[in-house]
Amino acid sequence: MVHAQVHGAAASGHRDRTPRTVGARQLAAMLPDPARARPAYRHLAHAIGELILDGRLALHVRLPAERELATALGTSRTTVTALYDLLRENGYAHSRQGSGTWTALPAGRAAKGVSRLLRPEDTAIDLARAAAALPGQVLADTLAEIAPLAAGHAGTLGYHPYGLPELREAIAARFSARGLATTPEQILVTSGAQHGLSLILALLSRPGDRAMVENPSYPNALEALRRTGLRTVSVPVTDGGGDGGEGGDTGGWDSEIIESTLRRSVPQLAYLIPDFQNPTGGVMPSGERARVLHAAHRSGTWLIVDETLAELALDAPAPAPFAAHGSADAAGKVITTGSMSKTHWAGLRIGWLRAPARLVTELAAQRVATDMGGSVVDQLLALALLNRAEDLLPAHLDRLRAGRTALTEALRTHTPHWSWRTPPGGLSLWVDLGAPVSSALAERALAHGVRIEGGGYFGADPGLFENRLRIPYTLPPETLTEAVQRMARALADDPRPAAPAQRPHWIA
Ligand SMILES: Cc1ncc(COP(=O)(O)O)c(C=O)c1O
């Protein structure tokens, strides 16, 4: 996979005003051979539109001068003039007097916010949220097991703003076992990873600060950044694994782009999901982790590393935690978030963050101002489940593997023109629909009893990833098969795009 090597703030978000350009040779490397299709300019315009929609070519980037692109493509200047005219006509570019042609999105492609909530009575098959159920017997047994412990705690006040000491210890021990030495003082127990992110943003950022994000990324994290008033600067992540040049498979990240973005934009913080990334499923290799950590250290950027999915290794384990890939000094600005939600059960609402002990104290103070602390009973439950993780997790991973197999088989049978790269872990496929139809499909699928949201919700900029659909494999195999059959019927039913409905949206 070749990314646009964007100069200036690479592949950046729309509110970042740093000048950016894409080089003629870099753009040419991402485009089809003009000699192969007639008329070439149409073919090229279509390809550039796809690159923009898929986030591989950033928005608000200056395209090369016509003559330079013509040379790089080995085509005529007239072809490139016609290409740029067509891009402008279709809304994928606009010209600024005296300053060239810039990438843009056609009007009407803006994604909706994700803030409107589902109604509780919604009964459709839920593919909008990637999380699995906990077997009822496991919960019942664990509740029985913790009853005497909970009774013991009843004699205390029950306020633990840092988290229950025994749970902090268990979480620290899990980090250490995964290769990142950690003490309980470095752990703050939160009400889920999303809560941890909110605490971090409230403490470490101010409206107007820059934040580097992956594109695509986890919608609720993007929303939290937006609501904090941060200006996002995005870097592309693909599901292609990347050819990585001499570096081999890059998991979909381009550390050169990340390094140049950190250097030029000097963001206050960056939010990354390096393990089974949501939604692409990619895993950032150790070498890239070390480079990114080093670059963030140089730019003084706080790295918020979301490891919520790190233990969901279906084929091969993820590398050691991100913060283990640099000097203690560099790791001092890494804050790692994690959660029980994807490995055990989201209903616990238990997550954590790992940070330098001094910062944990400040975050705990932030937490007191927010909710005083979490529930003792939920934390005892989480601890008991963590203590049994070596028994419970393999069965959970087996269920996910069965779901992944059922989903891929159903897709091959019922939607043979869709494509995807099977991720080595995590909870979902990032499916390429081959056409920008995902929000229309999501609308129509609801009428067939499937709730799913279009790929656009995962974009750092509005209007991207219309050709993508994130499909979780967290439901039972037969439900997944049924859901795919229904989506195939929704596709076949009505070829007209459905009007976007005013309806609640909620992704997890
Ligand atoms: C990458 C990522 N981070 C965080 C979360 C939210 O986790 P929690 O339920 O612990 O708040 C999710 C859930 O979808 C996720 O995919």
Residue-level pLDDT at 498: 55
Residue-level pLDDT at 118: 47
Select, from the ranges 104-108, 399-403, 462-466, the one with the highest average predicted confidence (pLDDT): 399-403
In the chain, what percentage of residues exceed pLDDT 70? 89
Does residue 245 have a pLDDT over 50?
no
Residue-level pLDDT at 361: 98
Supply the residue whose CA is at minimum distance from atom 10 of ligand 1: 192
Residue-level pLDDT at 35: 86
Q: How far is the CA of 348 from the centre of ligand 1 (A)?
A: 13
> pLDDT (tens digit, 9 = 90+) per residue, 378-404?
999 999 999 999 999 999 999 999 999
Q: Any residues with CB less than 8 A from the CB of 92 and at least 6 apart, and which?
A: 45, 48, 49, 52, 103, 104, 105, 106
| Residue 490 binned pLDDT confidence (cut-offs 50, 70, 90) | very high
Residue-level pLDDT at 493: 76
Distance CA 190, CA 299 (A): 28
Pocket-testing residue among 189, 218, 276, ligand 1, by greatest number of atoms within 8 A of Cβ = 218
In the chain, what percentage of residues exceed pLDDT 90? 75
Give 370: exposed, middle or buried? Use CB within 10 Å, 0-12, 13-18, 19+: middle
Distance CA 390, CA 119 (A): 36
Pocket-testing residue among 188, 199, 223, 308, ligand 1, by greatest number of atoms within 8 A of Cβ = 308
Residue-level pLDDT at 497: 54
What pTM was estimated for this model as a whole? 0.80
Residue-level pLDDT at 250: 83
H or E, element range at 87? helix 77-89
Supply the residue whose CA is at minimum distance from atom 7 of ligand 1: 193
Supply the residue whose CA is at minimum distance from atom 3 of ligand 1: 308
**Does residue 346's CB lie within 6 angstroms of at least one atom of ligand 1?**
yes
Segment 272-281 mean pLDDT: 97
Segment 203-231 mean pLDDT: 96
**Does residue 343's CB lie within 6 angstroms of at least one atom of ligand 1?**
no
